[in-house]
Structure 1
Amino acid sequence: MSVFSRLIDAIGETASNAFSSVVEAVRTVFAGDPETRRRVAFSVAVIALSAKMAKADGIVSPAEVAAFQEIFAVPPEEAANVARLYNLAKQDVAGFDVYAERIKGMCGSGNANCAMLEDILDGLFHIAKADGLIHHKELEFIAHVADIFEVDEAHFDRILARHVHPDGVDPFAVLGLTPDTPFTEVRKRYRQLAAESHPDRFAARGVPDEFMLLANERMAMLNAAYGEIEKSRAAA
């Protein structure tokens, strides 16, 4: 039986109007398999929060649906189960803060700026910007989720710089630095972030293989930012 089938069987009819029971079911159904539990928890988090974000925005564009499918490659046999979970979260009367609080508890470290929670925020940004414009309600939604996730302002600004840049990408903002930062510090920060963002680190955090697109996107942004700074300093 597939993991989502096991999850659907576990919640039965009890989750007809309360997605929170799904989050609790993830803990119990896969209690003996921590690796699978991490992967399912991450998938459930993205399903739940993207559904709530769509409801907050009021419009689900075809591009956003395609972006969801792009990072969530659902096997045909799982399509009905994933659709049920998505619709359940969207229809639940509970506010998204309820889900965000429960999802925060899934973070293994329990610390602020949890890496797995940053991965989830990247997934939400990927979906929100798919139609070429992040609606202000979507941005407010993601920022509020980040607050609940205990992502501090400086860290969120760095995440934001990877996804929202109407005046062009600021390579220093992507690395969380200022333009007057010595190049030795730029190199040090880049190497630190690159190590943290390596696809192997994503896998270790329980991010499913289909979400590796997020790791590749983040690495591409970091590489481009560092390359631009390195080039500008060499030309100075």
Structure 2
Amino acid sequence: MSIWTRISAAVSALSKGEPLSAVFDHLRAPPERSIAFTIAVVALGAKMAKADGQVTRDEVTAFREVFQIAAEDEAGAARVFNLARKDIAGYEEYARKIKAMFGDGPDVFCDLMEGLFHIAMADGNYHPNEDEFLASVARIFGMSESRFAALRARFVPDAAPEPYSVLGVSPDMPLDEIRAVWRAQVRESHPDRMRARGLPDEATALAEKRLIAINQAWETIQATRKKD
């Protein structure tokens, strides 16, 4: 059974007139957290699409890249997306419910934000409204400004990625301490760790992109320190 079949069942279980945001109140046990994670990214992605005023083909493709949506599951994914777009509840309500559900692990919020950044950058244009939207969601999640800045540095090409920002460390930090931060981020990107946080297997593509970015940042810092 694909995750989208399970998601369709979860959505169908909502009472008549109950908003999509209510689904998070019913999906709290570990087996269902992967369903909730996927709905969270799709729903917040739908709200974000309203922030910049349009849904592009690239953004739809980005959803498929993150969750590897098969052709037979596209209708189910589209249903969740459209339910979120039409829901009168604001994105803040969605974010707060997601925060309440995953409040026991800050790393899952980083995973969620990565999915949203990936979708935001799918069309190659990072709209100011998207930046405001993502910063607001990050605050609701309780994410620090430095961690949000590190995520932004990995995804938004408004300047060359600054390796210290990508890793979320300061330039004056000793190399051995930076190495420890890098190793910790590599460990947290392991598929087993991600599954333990409630991510579906379909979202492991996020970890692959993260590993490329943090490894490149670490290699750049090492090379720069050797020259110094």
Fold match (TM-score > 0.5): yes
Question: Are the equivalent residues in 2 in contact too, given 1:8–1:81 (CA < 8 A)?
Answer: no
> Which residue in 2 is equivalent to 1:13?
16
| Distance (Å, rounded) in 1 between the aligned partners of 2:73 and 2:156 | 32
Q: What is residue 190 of structure 1 aligned with on the other side?
A: 182
Aligned residue number for residue 134 of structure 1: 126
Letter in 2 for 1:5: S
Count of residues paired in the alignment: 225
Q: Is the 8 A contact 1:63 1:131 kept in 2?
A: yes
Segment of structure 1 superposing worse, 123-132 or 3-12: 3-12
Say if 2:27 is the partner of 1:26.
yes
Partner AA of 2:74 in structure 1: A
The 3-state SS of whatever aligns with 2:13 is: helix
- Structure 1 residues 194-221: Cα deviation after superposition (integer angstroms, max 9, x where no partner): 2122222112112111111111111111
Matches of residues 1-236 of structure 1 in structure 2 within 5 Å? 2-11=5-14, 13-15=16-18, 18-27=19-28, 34-107=29-102, 109=104, 114-236=106-228
1:98-133 per-position Cα deviation (integer Å, ceiling 9, x unaligned): 100011111151x6xx11111010000000011112
In 2, Cα distance between equivalents of 1:24 and 1:71? 24
Aligned to 2:116, what secondary structure does the other structure show? helix
How far apart, CA to CA, are the structure 2 residues paired with 1:76 and 1:26? 25
Counterpart Cα distance in 2 of 1:221 and 1:72? 20
> SS at 1:130's partner residue?
coil
Measured against aligned partners, the alpha-carbon deviations of 1:117-155 in whole angstroms (never above 9, x if no partner) come to 110100000000111121110111011000100111122
SS at match of 1:60: coil
1:31 maps to which residue?
none
Deviations 1:145-197 (A, max 9, x none): 00100111122122222112422010011111222222122212211222122
Partners in 2 of 1:165 and 1:75 — Cα distance?
30
Contact kept, 8 Å, 1:199 with 1:216, in 2: the verdict is no
TM-aligned CA distance change 1:43 to 1:193, over 3 Å: same
RMSD after superposition: 1.7
Indicate conservation of the 8 Å contact 2:44/2:116, yes or no: yes
- Does the 8 Å contact 1:117/1:149 carry over to 2? yes
> 2:11, 2:20 within 8 Å by CA — same for their partners in 1?
no
- Partner SS state of residue 102, structure 2: coil
Return the TM-score normalized by structure 1.
Answer: 0.89
Query: What is the TM-score when the length of structure 2 is the normalising length?
Result: 0.92
Aligned CA distance change for structure 1 residues 35 and 77 (closer, same or farther; 3 Å): farther
Post-superposition offset of 1:88: 0.8
Residues 197 and 108 (structure 1), Cα distance of their counterparts in 2 relative to 1, 3 Å cut? same
Task: Give the gaps of 5 or more residues in structure 2.
Answer: none
